[in-house]
A = this chain, B = another copy of it.
Amino acid sequence: MEMNHALDSLSALAHEGRLQVFRLLVRAGPEGMAAGEIATALQFRANTLSNHLNILAASGLVRALREGRSIRYFAEMQTMRGLLGFLMEDCCGGNAALCQPLLDQIACDCT
């Protein structure tokens, strides 16, 4: 991941509403949730939520899939992993061997 993508992802998460949405989708796992379900669960107005979902999707943290008249959203663990790798890059001045193997494992197996 490069700087701009990381910034998009971090900015997307640096907002209470969007962070709630993302964590809800993480909990939902591979089943994901429809936009309407999310709105109900978190008590958000439809347009506000749509905006949040757009921002999350643009950063790659969330994926959208139309399903009938609903649109279902999923958390993208791979993006999360990439972000973390970026944050930890060259950890400890090149002794990355200590950290990298751990980072490589960060991904939810159930996704």
Contacts and interface: CB of A to CB of B under 8 A. Distances in A.
Contacts of A98: 108-110
Interface of A, helix, strand, loop or mixed by DSSP: helix
A22 B80 contact: no
Most chain B CB within 10 A, of A29, A31, A87, is at: A87
As for how many copies of this chain the complex holds, the number is 2
A13 B8 CA distance: 11
A13 B11 CA distance: 8
A108 B87 contact: no
28 contacts: A3-B16, A3-B19, A7-B16, A7-B19, A10-B10, A10-B13, A10-B14, A11-B14, A23-B86, A23-B87, A23-B89, A26-B89, A26-B90, A26-B91, A29-B92, A29-B93, A30-B92, A31-B93, A80-B87, A84-B106, A88-B108, A91-B108, A98-B109, A98-B110, A99-B108, A102-B102, A105-B105, A106-B106
